[in-house]
Structure 1
């Protein structure tokens, strides 16, 4: 079964790589067409512009999906470990808090930070860890009801010397039967949602955790 999973991931990566170029070219051509069409716009062109804008939005969404798939594949391959440096998880928490504290308040949620003043040093990829935490917080902001609490923290368990980085919320959570599938690429718990998500945020979060032996 493990071999089948690996082959499936490899096939997905190859497909994403092969389709990335034509999708990018399509997006560029639609942007060019949109710019040229603006020069000859008349009141009779409303339907044309609406369909063109929808096609452009779809092509940009496809580009985002392929970028994310290729990024996840690169992370899972372990290639990013060559970029590991000495980083402080406390600084990761501070950076993400600075970005999302006001966003949480605007969404009428409360963001708590749990960490000590001492640094929590690991070998890791700062960019990927920030993206991982940001994905989890954005999920909480998107799916938790007004008044929810989001907790972001890090620390070091002195007994075993293991560093930890955590995002938690008190929202509705995920039903048990869905928990095994939420990390699958492009899988969405509620198929009827039209919030613009790609269904890849948790896949990337898991890949980043695995890269850091989490």
Structure 2
């Protein structure tokens, strides 16, 4: 049972499937290559075989036409090699002659060309002499049959009577001359020119038929047994090569699959540890390829984000518990004092007012946290409406002007003359502007200055809030946008540490970014960068 489960597990693994598919692909490609090579070799052998048959047929044709033995140094030349002058001279000698073929012959140190042509059913030998005249003589192939049959017999005995077949059929289809094994291979059927295969008791023969000028048909054949044996040897060789490559492909496929899957197994092991609660687990990168490394990086990033989320959740839980404990403690203390004191209506009304204020503060904290969470997780997408950022900032400056005057702070707005259109959520963007101005007013002492500026570039819109307040320490700059973070300078001022976190969440929901620069004792500058979207 355990063995069957183990086998089933192996067959279900990605490693096995990759190795199997790689082996199949390797086998198919190897089989295709072997098949192409096999067919190419087979075709090459048969083509060479056919060229030998054709050369033999041309030699017998020469002897049939001339009645002379074919010499190895004689060369057949095409009729197209006849010059226009030679052709006109031949036509002048024999009007209406049709040239069939020609040979280049050697006579001592000289080489001359002899052509054969037909005029009115008669065969002629034509040759242009050095004097410019034309030599011609009539040939009678019927008188050459005895010599041709002798050539058939001599060639058959030289090549092996059982290995070759030569025959000449007359225009009426009757066998006129043949090699000694005529009884077995003679064909009384339709004599169609071209190549064919004819079987015998010993082996198959490759036959070439050549139709002659007088209607006769010349057959030249040779046994295919040597070629077939050679093809069988090549077949066995190719099967062996295919089997070797199949085994090699399977082993290589398994090794490659093992290497590829190794990264996945490392991620799987780390995932099991993560499932046990260890979010600090990271998978080292290897050389498994870009996709595996991307999977490893994505898993590490996911674990890092999860670990960060849990740490933030713990911190938020602690901060929420602290921020809620303070008002709850005040309410409890005031309630205990009120209960222990005289039962006066005014004291109970005072208690009710304090409880209402503290509850409002706690509800505000909870609502702000929920809004940040929804905005960061894209649960609520900003409503897109066309608005004018210049007008929005100008109205916000006008609304905060009385508060600035009460604190003896100069509030200046440097805005462009033209409207700055932007498509976004009006209410959320108003909270961004108001939170940043309110934050600047908290930390700017009397006599200081807050400057609001709006700049439009090619593809971005920049909104800055700069103040001359107390500034932010450099080590605190990277934490000021975190939830519930409060620097030392802000602990004595009202607030819960959620304002800048909400600002960043809203800005990022509008595909923008917010940054802060500051010098301790000189002031701070918050820059909101939004993309131009209209």
TM-score (norm 2): 0.32
Take 2:309 and 2:408, find their aligned partners in 1: how far apart are those partners?
A: 42
- Which of residues 86, 91, 102 is equivalent to 2:402? 102
Q: Could you say what secondary structure the match of 1:163 adopts?
A: strand
Task: Verify: 1:171 aligned to 2:469, yes or no.
Answer: yes
Report the CA distance shift for 1:75/1:12 in structure 2 as closer, same or farther (over 3 A): farther
C-alpha RMSD of matched pairs (Å): 3.2
8 Å Cα contact 2:382/2:510 also seen in 1: no
Take 1:80 and 1:164, find their aligned partners in 2: how far apart are those partners?
A: 25
Aligned length: 190
Q: Which residue of 1 aligns with 2:391?
A: 91
**1:52, distance to aligned residue in structure 2 (A):** 5.1
Task: Verify: 1:137 aligned to 2:437, yes or no.
Answer: yes
Task: Verify: 1:148 aligned to 2:448, yes or no.
Answer: yes
- Which of residues 193, 196, 203 is equivalent to 2:491? 193
**1:99, distance to aligned residue in structure 2 (A):** 0.6
Determine which structure has the larger strand proportion and give its number: 2
List gaps (5 residues or longer) in structure 1: 20-25, 27-32, 34-40
Take 1:7 and 1:209, find their aligned partners in 2: how far apart are those partners?
A: 24
Q: Could you say what secondary structure the match of 2:488 adopts?
A: coil
Deviations 1:35-74 (A, max 9, x none): xxxxxx627x64x666555444332221111010001112
Take 2:415 and 2:467, find their aligned partners in 1: how far apart are those partners?
A: 16
List gaps (5 residues or longer) in structure 2: 1-303, 322-327, 329-334, 336-342, 513-534
Take 1:137 and 1:125, find their aligned partners in 2: how far apart are those partners?
A: 19
Deviations 1:48-105 (A, max 9, x none): 6665554443322211110100011122123443511122110111120121112211
Take 1:191 and 1:166, find their aligned partners in 2: how far apart are those partners?
A: 22
Q: Which residue of 1 aligns with 2:307?
A: 4
8 Å Cα contact 2:454/2:461 also seen in 1: yes
- Relative contact order, CA 8 A, sep 6+: which one is greater? 1
**1:213, distance to aligned residue in structure 2 (A):** 1.7
Report the CA distance shift for 1:58/1:102 in structure 2 as closer, same or farther (over 3 A): closer
8 Å Cα contact 1:89/1:119 also seen in 2: yes
TM-score (norm 1): 0.75
